[in-house]
């Protein structure tokens, strides 16, 4: 009776150690999807009560953020268009597909911004400076709350009407496709 009790305890301890060991192995790279919502806005005398929803894709090593991409469209009727200068808005309106991009690399030696830029170009996009939009966006309380001041902010423009999805493939991570 005593031997079976000891054997059961040893088996239980070995099982628990195996279970905890497998849970503690977080050395995998992962890609997580989410959403960033910017609530309401103001620009000069204009105020609007609406949400700007942007897609968010994060590349993580264990629990450390390696690269973060926030991307989305702003509809022509949106109040968030007041954040663009007249020139920026005119250039965006010339695009068949225009999107705002926020990108962050924790270490540009691991995932440089050039990886993202190459893949945007392969999908037919060109980068556009959005100096006025960036200033307005980064002063929003939601940008401060989410530490977005560390992000590159720009626009991407595709002139051709292509049905190509945006495909992001960083070394060591699974491929991610966005429409």
| pLDDT computed for residue 11 by the predictor | 60
What is the per-residue pLDDT across 2-29, written as a single tens digit (0 to 9) for each? Answer: 656 565 666 666 655 554 444 444 458 9
What is the per-residue pLDDT across 84-96, written as a single tens digit (0 to 9) for each? Answer: 999 999 999 999 9
| Element housing 144 (H / E) | helix 141-145
CA nearest to 92, candidates 135, 83, 40: 83
Q: Do residues 53 and 34 make contact, with C-beta atoms less than 8 angstroms apart? A: no
CA nearest to 52, candidates 61, 64, 67, 42: 42
What is the per-residue pLDDT across 117-152, written as a single tens digit (0 to 9) for each? Answer: 999 999 999 999 999 999 999 999 999 999 999 999
Residues facing residue 178 across a β-bridge? 166
Residue 47 has pLDDT above 90, yes or no: yes
| pLDDT computed for residue 23 by the predictor | 47
pTM: 0.82
Task: Give the chain's radius of gyration (CA, Å).
Answer: 23
What is the per-residue pLDDT across 53-110, written as a single tens digit (0 to 9) for each? Answer: 999 999 999 999 999 999 999 999 999 999 999 999 999 999 999 999 999 999 999 9
Tokens of 53: 């929803």
């Amino acid at each position: 009776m005593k031997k079976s009790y000891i054997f059961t305890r040893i088996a239980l301890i070995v099982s628990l150690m195996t279970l905890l060991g497998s849970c503690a192995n977080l050395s995998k790279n992962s890609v997580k999807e989410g959403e960033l919502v910017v609530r309401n806005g103001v620009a000069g005398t204009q105020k609007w009560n609406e949400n700007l929803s942007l897609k968010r894709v994060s590349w993580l090593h264990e629990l450390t953020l390696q690269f973060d991409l926030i991307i989305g469209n702003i509809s022509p009727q949106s109040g968030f268009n007041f954040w663009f200068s007249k020139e920026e808005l005119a250039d965006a309106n010339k695009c068949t597909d225009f999107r705002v991009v926020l990108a962050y690399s924790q270490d540009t030696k691991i995932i440089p911004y050039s990886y993202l830029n190459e893949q945007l170009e392969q999908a037919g996009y060109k980068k556009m400076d959005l100096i006025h939009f960036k200033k307005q966006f980064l002063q929003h309380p939601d940008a401060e709350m989410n530490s977005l001041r560390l992000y590159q902010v720009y626009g991407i423009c595709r002139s051709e009407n292509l049905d190509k999805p945006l495909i992001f493939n960083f070394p060591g991570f699974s491929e991610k496709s966005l429409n």
